[in-house]
Amino acid sequence: MEQKMPPNPIANKVAKKKVADYFKMNKKDETTLLMFFIVLVCAVLGYFVLFPATGSYSDGRIQEANLTNEKNTLQSKQTNLQGLKKDLTERSDFISRTEDAMPTTAQVPELLVTLSKLASNNSLYLTNFSPQEVTANTNANVGPEGEIAPAATEYSQVEISFDVSGKYLDMKQFLKDVETNIRPINILNINISGGGEISNTISTETLRFSIKAEAYYKAKQ
């Protein structure tokens, strides 16, 4: 029967010393190893922390630049829209004034209201208002076969006759207001009846002015 040899303490001690000597490092090796671990840790942190943060920062800058460009584009469009809105308002006002000056119908009631207001503003009294629409322009050019030239039928007329009672100086101002009214009104004839002293500065008697005029409107196409 084989007998086991008792352990040799000296041999074990020598073996452990050899292993320790194998793994033993001088200070230079320790410094190198420490630097290696530091670099490794920095690389891991850079890969898992710094790189994503840098990417997010770059994406944020790109998004910020895109949003700034979109903002500038929208502001430019808003400025253009405001300019178009202003232009539309001006054109609408112009069209409105044009329609007031040359309506598409005779608008006899509106014409009566306008003349009555002008007379009242000048202390005059308007009576005997009588309108009559003219179906064709009396000044139209007539072709060789009797047809009316198209250019001459762009507008139609309504003849109006009315009386205005008041003083002479008030009547002069009334006529000026009619001339400057937005709707074209052409005074054809004025007859004066009454008595009293009349001059440029004196008018003591109430007079009656019988007026015949023409107002214009667009002809229907």
- Residue 141: the pLDDT is 46
- Residue 148: the pLDDT is 43
Among all chains, which residue has been given the structure tokens 């009316």? 148
* Residue 154 half-sphere exposure toward CB, CA atoms < 13 A: 3
| Domain 108-141+151-218 class in CATH | alpha beta
**201 Cβ neighbours under 8 A, 6+ residues apart:** 169
Q: What are the beta bridge partners of residue 148?
A: 142
φ/ψ (deg, to 5) at 213:
-145, 175
* DSSP state letter for 26: -
CA gap 11, 3 in Å, rounded: 19
Tokens of 96: 């409105």
Tens-place pLDDT, residues 172-214: 999 999 988 888 889 999 998 876 555 555 556 789 999 999 9
pLDDT along the chain (221 residues), means of 10: 56 55 58 73 67 68 83 86 82 70 84 92 92 64 46 76 92 92 89 68 75 86 57
Show me where the domains of the chain are located: 9-101, 108-141+151-218
- Residue 151: the pLDDT is 44
CA gap 83, 8 in Å, rounded: 105
CA gap 54, 117 in Å, rounded: 79
- Residue 35: the pLDDT is 76
pTM tops 0.75, yes or no: no
CA gap 102, 37 in Å, rounded: 94
- Residue 188: the pLDDT is 92
φ/ψ (deg, to 5) at 189:
-155, 145
134: nearest Cα among 97, 102, 175, 106: 106
Question: Helix (H, G, I), strand (E, B), or coil: what is residue 156?
Answer: strand
CA gap 138, 135 in Å, rounded: 9
